[in-house]
Structure 1
Amino acid sequence: MREWLQLFRSQTASATFILLLTFYLLGGGEIFSLMGLALIVASLLIHYSTFGQNSLNDFLLGYDKEDPHKKHHPLVSGKIKPEQAIKVVNVMLFLACLYCIILALHGANPTLALISSFLGYVFGNWYNSGFSKVSLLKPIPITLAFTFIGLYAYFLSAKELTTLAILCTLYVALTMLFQIGIEGELKDYKTKEVNILHKISKDTFATLGVILKIVNLLVGLYIATLLWATLHPVLRITIVMISFLTIVASLFIMRYLFNYGLIVYETCRKCRKYVVRYCALMEILTIYYLLIVLIPEIGLVNVLFMMILGIVYFVAMNKINWGTLVAPMV
């Protein structure tokens, strides 16, 4: 079972169910309801099947075989046979699609939910099934996939898009662009795996990363001003301080990432584990920042529930899969 959880990259599923639950709540849904619980199951099915497909295709296309950091992965080590993985992943993809269709038909706007889920599947499958690893457009399809999956959850509880939902969609898109286009490339830099960093200069890459993350957080700050402007002055000061500290912390982590990912990493491959750890911290910081900003809209209890569930799940799965607490061996 552990090998299959590694194949599905189960440790990161908390980000997927937080994404779906957040958009579901934005549309007016309730976590502690039949649909809310069903959506958590859907998010796990979506994550396990699509990330399993990505792991399988990366192996079949030869990327993981050439990466020394992935020699312990179940397909590379031979603990799972490719033939087995193909059958299991295809069955899970079918079940995930069927399950999402059934949920969509019971949603507030079945048509838009079905369209969003279909587009999420199309872009996700496009990314997983051989999209160029060195194309500068590489982050686009997976960004669109996650964006539409979020909208799928939104239309399970809402009939139409609001300004707030559009802003949150933009925030998620910018977050995914940074995670895939910047963090993902840093993590695999200096391995034999093909990498965008082999095509552009390090200075250009670092500048793009800083600009992208600042814009990402500023969108979150704008959402905060819309939601917290009419609240008590003490609460407004609180969110301003959280926003400021989040941006400062993010810039500090980015400096660490770029220093170790692009300078020290060139001469010391052991530094990769620190890059992975800081990437994980950046992802948690960015996700939880949006949750805190959305407290006036989706409720403190819901936010605390998602935060606690996310941390407990992430730490537990890292321990089960890789024997670590924060940095998975990916």
Structure 2
Amino acid sequence: MAIKNVVVAGGTGALGTPITNALVQSGFNVTLFTREGSTSTPPAGVTVKQVDYKSVDNLKAALAGQDAVVSVLGSFVIGEQKPLAEAAVASGSTIKRFIPSEFGINTRQTPGSAIGKILGSKTDLVDFLKDAADKNPNFKWTGISNGHFFDWGLRHNSLGLNKETHTATIYDSGNERYQTSNLPFVGKAVAAVLKAADTPADKTANQYIQIASFTPTQNEVLAAVQELAPDVKWEVKHAKSAEVQKDGEERLSKGDFSSFMPLLSVWQFADGAGHAPDIKDPAFGNNVLGLQPENLKVALAAWLGE
């Protein structure tokens, strides 16, 4: 591997932990950046450094000897990616690859939309990385979009299924395909990107890729759940995406950022949304990285059995 030493910023959260575990299992030397004063428990097998995410100089010093950075900084502190990126591209930096906290929907498609207003700092950060790579051929970046977090979304009722109340919310016809990934699958994708990075096999340098554990429809997911739990009767509710979108935009105009989840549901599930990647496209991230799709029913059975 041309890249050996990897920093993970935000590596103790719901997504950061499986990413960190995948990197450790793939043989990388992993260092976790944590906020000064953090009491989070890091995964086993990593080095921990406390940093000041607002100080470029502090971050530059902490990045000494590292080859790559994976940012998993959450939405509430996403602005702190900028100093981290500035430190990574600073003169004399050894960082060869920067993977920003793009995990989620494809933000390159969102400018001009309501949800794009919420994700603007992510869009700006990728623009910054693109400019940096143009100016410095030794520095490269890779954006990874994975759509909805499937396993996490099932547990937190953000996919329209609530197993406690046995209710299912279906947007429009329920036949729109959407992009979604289990958290460990995202970790596998990050590891695959960095394994090939800065080698002749590298196909993701300065690229934005989309991955997915699967690209189902809401109706397919509900049918699979009903098959796996035939004795349970699910109450199906229907939502009109146009109404949800209008309400979300009105709330957002008043500074209510809790509108993100409804707007995200419309973005993914609305009839004609068209945001699911073409799994047969050679440029689809799974195909580029050699990742096999996962089994929808296995993921659902695990959730039902929790």
TM-score by length of 2: 0.28
Larger fraction in strand: 2
Considering Cα pairs closer than 8 Å and 6+ residues apart, tell me whether 1 or 2 has the greater RCO.
1
After TM superposition, the score normalised by the length of structure 1 is 0.27
Considering fraction of residues, name the structure with more helix.
1
